[in-house]
Amino acid sequence: MSEIHEKSPKHCANKKAFNFHNFNKKLYIYLSTIFLTILSLIFLVWLILHPTKPQFSLKEAEINQLNLSTPSLLNSSIQLTLLSNNPNKKVGIYYDEFLIYASYKGQKITTETSISPFYEEHEETNLVSAFLIGNLQPVASTFAYEVQRDQGSTGKLVLNFKVMGRLRWKVGTWVSGRYRFVVNCVTFMPFGMLPSLPLSSRQGTQCSTTI
Ligand SMILES: *[C@@H]1O[C@H](CO)[C@@H](O)[C@H](O)[C@H]1NC(C)=O
Ligand SMILES: *[C@@H]1O[C@H](CO)[C@@H](O)[C@H](O)[C@H]1NC(C)=O
């Protein structure tokens, strides 16, 4: 009886020690698998949520018309070419919505022109051309005065080209939800021997992008 009594706990202890060893090994494998999974998920989420913003620059802008019908109704026509670049190595971009307009001192001088949706592969560069038109576009009645003042003081017309759009990121076969983005390009157009048009600007002005 006493022999059995003595052997039994020993046996149990051995078995327990063996089980613990096995359990620890399994636990180690489980934990490291979970840890690695979480780590790769975090990496994937980081990759998806923090792609580098697309880059835009102004390639060419030409004002073909800038005529006032009344002091506060403007007709305008501007030919614009932007360079669009997707700097990401692994992320493609779907541009679902892409509206461009021109503004002068915070006021729109053309209506919004819509560019048809396009896809930009990673590290791809595209030319985006738009014909911006204003037909009896309402502007402040000081418009002509402001333009003349710019001509007299700096000799340059400062215009903003703005893009308002929505994009989706593509990573592998996964496509994100839609994100709004805004691009702002500032250009300084030197007045020639006014009133001669077109006024044009050919520069590699970098535009700012916000998402
Ligand atoms: C518009 O302006 C241009 C130059 O500024 C001028 O040559 C042209 O006659 C104007 N057009 C109208 C309809 O006033
Ligand atoms: C502006 O456009 C309107 C409509 O197209 C036209 O009736 C008007 O004569 C134009 N004005 C100028 C100054 O070109």
The verdict on residue 22 lying in a domain is yes
The stretch 155-183 carries a mean pLDDT of 92
- For the Cβ of 197 lying below 6 angstroms from any atom of ligand 1, the answer is yes
How far is CA 17 from its chain centroid?
Answer: 59
Of ligand 1's listed atoms, the one at least distance from the Cα of 195 is: 5
Q: Do 98 and 197 fall into the same domain?
A: yes
Q: Name the average pLDDT for the chain.
A: 85
Residue 155 has what pLDDT?
84
The stretch 105-125 carries a mean pLDDT of 95
What is the distance in A from the centroid of ligand 2 to the CA of 40?
A: 60
- How far is residue 61's CA from residue 51's CA, in Å, rounded to a whole number? 29
Q: Do 94 and 166 fall into the same domain?
A: yes
CB atoms within 10 A of CB 209: 17
What is the distance in A from the centroid of ligand 1 to the CA of 67?
A: 6
Q: Do 33 and 95 fall into the same domain?
A: no
Q: Give the CATH number of the domain where residue 104 resides.
A: 2.60.40
- Two tokens, residue 173: 């076969």
| pLDDT tens digits for range 131-164 | 999 999 999 999 999 988 988 888 888 899 999 9
Q: Do 42 and 67 fall into the same domain?
A: no
Q: Do 30 and 105 fall into the same domain?
A: no
The total number of structural domains in the chain stands at 2
pTM: 0.74
Q: Do 134 and 88 fall into the same domain?
A: yes
Least confident window among 6-20, 80-94, 173-187, 190-204: 6-20
What residue numbers bound the domain in which 119 lies?
51-210
Side-chain-side CA neighbours of residue 92 (13 Å): 12
Percent of the chain with pLDDT strictly greater than 90: 47
Least confident window among 2-11, 67-76, 196-205: 2-11
Alpha-carbon distance values, 211 to 25, 27, 140, 147, 167 (Å) = 47, 43, 30, 32, 9
Q: Do 85 and 63 fall into the same domain?
A: yes
| Ligand 2, atom 12, residue with closest C-alpha | 69
- How far is residue 124's CA from residue 90's CA, in Å, rounded to a whole number? 11
- How far is residue 115's CA from residue 95's CA, in Å, rounded to a whole number? 9
The verdict on residue 3 lying in a domain is no
